[in-house]
């Protein structure tokens, strides 16, 4: 909403004094005070008009986002349950299932700042300071791989940030081009037959294929059971404390990945059998980016070293990975989560 509309609405709601174009004075209301006008007049435009003084960095934004936003949107913008996804989705807008996020879809950074400042956090709107809003916005840019981790956002450099989909919007001309403009829409018996042409997007509602070797319904042979027992007996002992620490770190991954008994693909592939597997080749998972598939075809195989490199900063290793996760910054966390994955998959 523009400043003009905001002020017009405020004048109508608060200033019913009969002192403008009204035919008769009503004796109700009073002129809005400057403070009241300022309280309503908080929108920010694409050219930066309306931004307050202040600044915030990616580093400042991470803990604020974790405390105020992650319960709904996930630690890395991957979303919890049905709340909106905020990161990722690059190059998906022309696909059958586009992922509309801040990085892939939103045209202006002012939309991000204005919405966060005006309406977030849910249930506690307008509780964020200007500096906190700058910090969260900077962190959201980082999650979408639009700035580096040392970036600081302020009113001075705000308009220098270009959003990838800024040129992807055009005037709505459906009143002129819609197929139904000159004919009545069909409401009954529009097709002679209805066919199901796609599988459910939520993978865990589709029954397992009992012929798959990874299916929980597939019976294990005696030979397979003996081989598994031999592998378990030969596996080196793991540090239980390290595995427990890794389980805690893995909570950052659980929104998108599963591991262990009965693990299934989610937003990302399940991680069973990841060690020794070529990148982008988890059986049954079809949402890999082209870059991830190419990396596997070029010889990238997941082991402790390659996983540690990838998890430290995924987009530095595979530029257009669909994983929105920004990376684990602590070496101890990397060691622990890899130990946990090994313990859960061997």
User: In the chain, what are the domain boundaries?
Assistant: 1-34, 50-168, 234-345
CATH no., domain 50-168? 1.10.760.10
| pLDDT reported for residue 117 | 96
Angle made by CA atoms 32, 34, 39, in degrees to the nearest 5: 90
| pLDDT reported for residue 213 | 42
234-345 matches 50-168 in CATH topology: yes
d(CA 145, CA 324): 9
Q: Which residue has the tokens 């209301």?
A: 29
d(CA 129, CA 111): 17
pLDDT tens, residue order, the chain (346 aa): 344 334 444 444 444 444 445 567 778 888 999 999 988 899 999 999 999 999 999 999 999 999 999 999 998 898 988 899 999 998 899 888 899 999 999 999 999 999 999 999 998 999 999 999 999 999 999 999 999 989 999 999 999 999 999 999 888 887 777 666 667 777 888 888 877 776 665 555 545 555 544 344 444 455 555 555 555 444 455 688 888 888 888 887 877 888 888 888 887 899 998 999 999 999 988 888 888 998 889 999 999 999 999 998 888 888 878 777 778 888 888 898 889 988 887 6
234-345: CATH topology is Cytochrome Bc1 Complex; Chain D, domain 2 (1.10.760)
pTM for the complete prediction?
0.52
Residue 305 corresponds to which tokens in the numbers above?
């070293």
Q: Contact 324/143 with Cβ under 8 angstroms?
A: yes
Instruction: Count the helix, strand and coil residues of the chain and give each as a percent rounded to the nearest 5.
Output: 35, 0, 60
Burial 250-281 (b: 16+ CB within 10 A, else e): bebbebbbbbeeebbbbbbbbbbebbebebbe
Residue 88 corresponds to which tokens in the numbers above?
């990722």
């Amino acid at each position: 909403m523009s400043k003009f509309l905001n002020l017009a609405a405020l004048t109508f709601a608060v200033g019913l004094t009969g002192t403008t174009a009204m035919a008769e004075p009503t004796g109700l209301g009073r002129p809005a005070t400057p403070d009241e006008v300022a309280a309503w007049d908080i929108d920010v435009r694409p050219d930066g008009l309306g931004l307050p003084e202040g600044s915030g960095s990616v580093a400042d934004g991470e803990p604020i986002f974790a405390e105020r936003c992650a319960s709904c949107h996930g630690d890395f913008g991957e979303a919890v349950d049905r709340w909106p996804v905020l990161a990722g989705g690059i190059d998906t807008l022309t696909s059958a299932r586009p992922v509309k996020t801040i990085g892939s879809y939103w045209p202006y950074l002012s939309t991000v700042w204005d919405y966060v400042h005006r309406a977030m956090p849910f249930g506690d709107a307008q509780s964020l300071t200007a500096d906190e809003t700058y910090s969260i916005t900077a962190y959201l840019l980082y999650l979408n791989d639009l700035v580096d981790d040392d970036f600081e956002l302020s009113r001075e450099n705000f308009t220098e940030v270009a959003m990838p989909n800024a040129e992807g919007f055009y005037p709505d001309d459906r009143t002129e081009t819609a197929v139904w403009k000159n004919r009545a829409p069909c409401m009954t018996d529009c097709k002679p037959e209805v066919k199901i042409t796609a599988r459910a997007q939520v993978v865990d509602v589709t029954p397992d294929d009992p012929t798959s070797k990874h299916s929980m319904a597939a019976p294990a042979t005696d030979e397979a059971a003996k081989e598994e027992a031999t592998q378990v007996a030969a596996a080196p002992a793991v540090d239980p404390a390290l595995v427990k620490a890794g389980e805690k770190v893995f909570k950052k991954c659980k929104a998108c990945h599963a591991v262990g008994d009965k693990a299934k693909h989610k937003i990302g592939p399940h991680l069973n059998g990841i060690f020794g597997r070529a990148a982008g080749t988890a059986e049954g998972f079809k949402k890999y980016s082209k870059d991830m598939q190419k990396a596997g075809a070029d010889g990238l195989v997941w082991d402790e070293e390659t996983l540690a490199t990838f998890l430290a900063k995924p987009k530095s290793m595979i530029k257009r990975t669909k994983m929105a996760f920004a990376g684990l910054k602590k070496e101890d966390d990397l060691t622990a989560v890899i130990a946990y994955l090994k313990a859960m998959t061997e």
